[in-house]
Amino acid sequence: MNNLTSLPLVIGLGELLWDCFGDERRPGGAPANVAFQANQLGCRGTVVTRVGQDALGTELLDFLTQQQLSTEYVQIDETYPTGTVTVEFTDANDPQYTIHERVAWDHLEFNDRLDALMKQSQAVCFGTLAQREEDSRESIHQCLAATNPDCLVVYDINLRQHYFDRNWIERSLSAAKVVKLNQEEVHVLSGLLGIPAGDLQAFAKQLQQKYGVEAVCITRGAAGCLIYTDDQEYDIPGTPVEVADAVGAGDAFTAALISRRLLGWSWEQAALFANRVGGLVASKAGAMPVLRAEFERLSQEIQNS
């Protein structure tokens, strides 16, 4: 078994919260989902976030510990409560989120311990939602500025409700090496950034050139994904699955892409693996199903194909 400190350090930077489904709740938050799945995928997934000094926060810390994730960089807020999101479905493929405000993860604080952690990281994944309040927005960008030049900084655009702004998005694009978004977000960004969205390949190319990112990845659900990098296009078809719910499937895709790129896999092979991982998570309930053994088998299958 690998020594923990020898594994690539992958940081999920942003929100950790409870996804509330009627009378049931499950751990969630896109960056936390990425860290959780990275941990299952053979990396040292670490969540950088903030929870309340309350029972819901304690439960989240207990969950991370049970899943062998460090809680060392989960800050405790004495004023604001642990974050919650109400999730509703009219279609299993299209969850609707109501993200509650005035919560702990909006107030992440940058400090010397985070500065030191960021300098050690091999990859960092962050999104737009956790930037909705100035406190967390500035802390996130201080974290990104502290990473070393070789760090794989991934911006998962992850637009939710009205919690986005052109300035935040452009600042984030400029800080990233890899940008990941879905087809619906392409159309929103097209209007915000003035990049035509009629052709996904052309959109990806213009986004890459305008903001100097190394790669753009557009997910298309059951239709797979498109990756544009170094003037190369990879159009990866999807694999049909029976969807239980799509919560967290995109985050699992992101974690899989990061983990395999850190292992030196080609973009094409990493994207194929990421598609399959995302589909596997979509076939299970909740954002953080335990699938470590299944991921390992899938990794071996794709490596040997």
* Residue 246: strand, helix, or coil: coil
Tell me what the mean pLDDT of segment 83-112 comes to.
87
Q: Are residues 7 and 42 in contact, defined by beta-carbon separation less than 8 angstroms?
A: yes
- At 284 the pLDDT is 84
Q: Provide the b/e sequence for 123-142 (b: ≥16 CB within 10 Å).
A: bbbbbbbbbbbeebbebbbb
Q: How many CA atoms lie within 13 A of 39 on its CB side?
A: 22
Looking at residue 273, what DSSP letter applies? H
Would you give the distance in Å from CA 13 to the centre of its chain?
9
Nearest CA among 41, 43, 44, 19 for reference residue 30: 19
* Residue 162 neighbours by CB distance under 10 Å: 8
Q: Locate the domains of the chain by residue range.
A: 7-289
Q: Mind listing the pLDDT tens digit for each residue in 190-232?
A: 999 999 988 899 999 999 999 999 999 999 888 889 999 987 9
* Residue 200 neighbours by CB distance under 10 Å: 17
Q: Residue 56: enclosing H or E segment and its boundaries?
A: helix 55-66
- At 115 the pLDDT is 98
Q: Are residues 96 and 88 in contact, defined by beta-carbon separation less than 8 angstroms?
A: yes
Q: Mind listing the pLDDT tens digit for each residue in 222-276?
A: 888 999 998 799 999 888 787 776 777 899 999 999 999 999 999 999 999 999 9
pLDDT confidence bin for 90, thresholds 50/70/90 = low
Query: Does residue 40 surpass a pLDDT of 80?
Result: yes
The values of phi and psi at residue 30, to 5°, are -55, -50
Q: Mind listing the pLDDT tens digit for each residue in 141-176?
A: 999 999 999 999 999 999 999 999 999 999 999 999
The values of phi and psi at residue 132, to 5°, are -70, -25
- At 8 the pLDDT is 96
From the number of C-beta atoms within 10 Å of its C-beta (0-12, 13-18, 19+), residue 169 rates as buried
Percent of the chain at pLDDT > 70 equals 96
Q: Residue 138: enclosing H or E segment and its boundaries?
A: helix 134-146
Architecture of domain 7-289: 3-Layer(aba) Sandwich (3.40)
Q: What is the mean pLDDT of the chain?
A: 92
From the number of C-beta atoms within 10 Å of its C-beta (0-12, 13-18, 19+), residue 231 rates as exposed
pTM for the full model? Answer: 0.93
* Residue 288 neighbours by CB distance under 10 Å: 26
